[in-house]
Structure 1
Amino acid sequence: MAIDMRTVEPLGSKSALLEQAMRRNRAAPKSTNESFFSDLDMSDMLPADFDWLKQDKEAIENLVRQMDASIGQLNEQLRDMGRQTRAIDQFTRKSKTQFEDEQKLLFKQIQTLNALLKRQLDILNGVERQIEQVEIKQNNFLPHLGIGLIAGLMSAVTILVSAPLVMIAIDYFRA
């Protein structure tokens, strides 16, 4: 016949526990609490020491408090990081918008400069064409030939007229 050890109090010696189990098994029809406690032999039982359980309970409560505090600090840090992330996102969006606006302005300025340079080139090309037309008109050979002949004749007459005077001046400076 099997002995049911599930209902045996675990804080007694092995022999006392075995005796209790055997008595319970014989008196199985009795199932009241009084018969259960009357069958127990408490003489050789060790006194229960639950101080370790109290210490463990206190340690667990302290650990839970520390974990709650750590979770609270972590939650606050996460909130701060969320605020900082939002501030960084706003700054990034603002900077990006400013950069895009400045880039658009720069492109407009470049287009304006390109248009101005093109206009200047067109004007300079027009001036160059006009100068070429003026030079072509002024390059007639006959007027220049006439001017050269007249200038040459005037130089010859000047030399002939001034030669005797120059000779007198040279003689005067030698003496």
Structure 2
Amino acid sequence: MKISPTSVDGVMAVEVTPFSDERGLFARTFCAETFAAHGMAEVFPQQNTSFNPRAGTLRGLHMQAEPNAEAKLVRATRGRIYDVAVDLRPASPTYRAWTAVELDAARRNALYIPGGCAHGFLTLEDDSEVFYLMSRTYVPELARTYRWNDPAFGVAWPADPILISARDAAAEDYKP
């Protein structure tokens, strides 16, 4: 694996290094020791998947608040998504900054998002599926949703969403 920092403190792009032969390929997608060496979570007790039939589907911006802030390792297992992380950690040097990576099932790349960052994505292809590893289990009363186009963040999405849930569409702006 190749782990590279993004412009947001602690958000890491994860690229696989596949070994190919006549059988196909093999690649390591997670290693607790490697993640720990990069200051990343190494335990993921919850795994989630999201299937999105239509390109232009937007999910987010979601996070879980302290004391149960969750790190996420996000990968497109089918299709492509524009994956966004927004830093909402007040003590962070990149507070309120955002970064995005195009996750592509064919590339098998992933984005690591530390706890305290909001996450969202826009599907770029029909029938996109997303797989998440979560460092904490879900606690409904700590779930937070912020508006995908909140001017406090200024995320440059590649397109406006075609499909968005009522909850995400009604999300409030971020208030520090």
Normalising by the smaller structure, the TM-score range is under 0.3
Q: Relative CO higher for 1 or 2, CA cutoff 8 Å, sep ≥ 6? A: 2
TM-score normalised over the length of structure 1: 0.16
- The structure in which a higher percent of residues are strand is 2
Which of the two has higher C-alpha Rg?
1
- The structure in which a higher percent of residues are helix is 1
